[in-house]
Amino acid sequence: MKGFFSLPGERLFHVATLSALGFLLLFFVGIISSLATYTDWRQFFSILFSKEILFAIRLTLFTSTMATIISMVFAVPAAYAISKTNFRGKNIVDTILDLPIVISPIALGAALLVFFNTSLGRALEGNLMRFVFEVPGIVLAQFTIISALAVRLLKATFDSINPRYERVGRTLGYTKIKVFFKVTLPLARNGLIAASILTWARAVGEFGATVTVAGAMKMKTETLPIAIFLNLAQAEVERAIAVVFVLVAIAVIALVILRRFTSRRQTS
C-alpha cells in the first residue's frame, strides 16, 4: 500500500478522497449520536412503549408493508415490460416513471389531494373507500412515492438477466408466461428481495405525501415520521427522539438484510 501511494500527487489525491469520506462519516455519526446526548434514558423505554408510539409503529409497519406489496404487484410486470419490451415512446414512459422519484413528495401529495377533488376522485371515495385523511390515504401516498422507485430497481434487476436463460427456457417447452415464473423470477430473486426491502424502508420514512393526503392526526394517521413532526410541534423533543431511534433501528435492520442479499447477488 505504502509503495502504491508513494508518488506525491497520488498521496495528495488519496488523502483528499479519504478526508471527504471521513468528514461525511463524522457528520452522520455526529448527528445521530447528538440525539443520544439529548435523551433521558430512564424515560426512553416508557416513551417507546407508550400507547401513541406503539400505535405509530404498528400503523407504519402495516401501511408500509401494504404499500410495498401493492407496488410490487404493479412494479414487477411494469419493470419487466420496460426492460424487455421495445415499443414506441419507451423513453417517454421511462422518463414519466422517473418523475415521482425526483418530484417533491409534498407536491405529489398535493396532486393526489387535488385528484380526490375531481369527479372521478370523488366517485372513487364515494364508492370504493375513503382516502383523504384516512389510513388508506397513507397507503396510497406511500404507494405513489415508492412504486416508481420499485420499477427503477426492478428494471435494473431484469436488465441484468441474460436473455439467453429465457430463450433456453422457451426451447425446453415453456411458454413465455411459464418462462417468466420458472426462469426469470427465480433469477431475479435477490433483486426482488433487495427492491422490496429498499422500497419498504422508503415507505416507512415517507412523510411529505402522507401528511398532505392523510393529514397529521394523533392516533389516527400518525405514522412514525408524522409522530416525530407532531411531537416536535408540541415541543415533546424526547418523544420525538425516541421515534427517531425507532426509525434508525428499522433502517439499520433493513440495510443489514439488504447487504446480505446484494452481496450474495454479487458473488452469484
Q: Site residues (CB under 8 A) for other proteins?
A: 162, 164-165, 167-175, 178, 183, 186-187, 189, 268
Minimum CB separation from other proteins for residue 191, in Å? Answer: 13
DSSP 53: H
Query: Is the distance from CB of 146 to CB of 203 less than 8 angstroms?
Result: yes
Minimum CB separation from other proteins for residue 198, in Å? Answer: 22
The secondary structure of 108-146 as a DSSP string is HHHHHHHHTTSHHHHHHHHHT---TTSHHHHHHHHHHHH
Nearer to other proteins, 33 or 162 (CB): 162
Minimum CB separation from other proteins for residue 165, in Å? Answer: 5
Nearer to other proteins, 182 or 260 (CB): 182
Q: What does the alpha-carbon distance between residue 145 and residue 161 come to, in Å, rounded to a whole number? A: 26
Minimum CB separation from other proteins for residue 89, in Å? Answer: 19
Burial 11-50, CB ≥16 within 10 A → b, else e: eeeeeeeeeeeeeeeeeeeeeeeeeeeebeeeebeebeee
Nearer to other proteins, 11 or 170 (CB): 170
Nearer to other proteins, 188 or 214 (CB): 188
CA 256 remoteness from chain centre:
15
Minimum CB separation from other proteins for residue 134, in Å? Answer: 42
Cell numbers representing residue 182 in the block: 420458472
Nearer to other proteins, 183 or 246 (CB): 183
